Amino acid sequence: MVGTLDIAAAFANTWISSGTAPDVVLKFIASGVFGREEAFAGGWGMAAMGLLFHYLIAFSFTLFFFWIFPKVKTWIPNWVLLGVLYGILVWVVMNRLVVPLSNTPKGPFNLQSALINAAILIVCIGLPLAFMASRQKVGS
């Protein structure tokens, strides 16, 4: 669910901000593995690889969240605050670790874009995961 929310928001954000089509967003994601030239020269197969990579990353962040949740819920009992903090953590990991170490095209830091992207991750990943985890019954 959070992977779908996140990619839908990414599609909407890039369409609104630059008119970029969804397949280009997915090829950008694929470029992290395949490099700029190969990814952007590829067709729908490369876009499908970008979608696969996106869902693998989102699933990894989801697994990590549910692994750490029992440990952090006593420190941060408010699920909204936890969701906001987790969304920020996801942004930091992706933008300061994963993307710089990947083959994706790099551009200059843009504060407005960073804040929008962090907000997307908070709303589409952090808050939904924290809400779902906070509603789990112990022992279920």
pLDDT by residue for the chain (140 residues), tens only, comes to 999 999 999 999 999 999 999 999 999 999 999 999 999 999 999 999 999 999 999 999 999 999 999 999 899 999 999 999 999 999 999 999 999 999 998 889 999 999 999 999 999 999 999 999 999 865 44
Give yes or no for a contact between 121 and 91, defined as CB atoms under 8 angstroms apart: yes
Closest by alpha carbon to 39, among 22, 24, 57?
Answer: 24
- Give the global pTM: 0.91
Domain extents in the chain: 2-134
Q: Which long-range contacts (CB under 8 A, 24 or more apart) does 132-136 make?
A: 133/65, 133/66, 133/69, 133/73, 133/79, 134/73, 134/79, 134/82
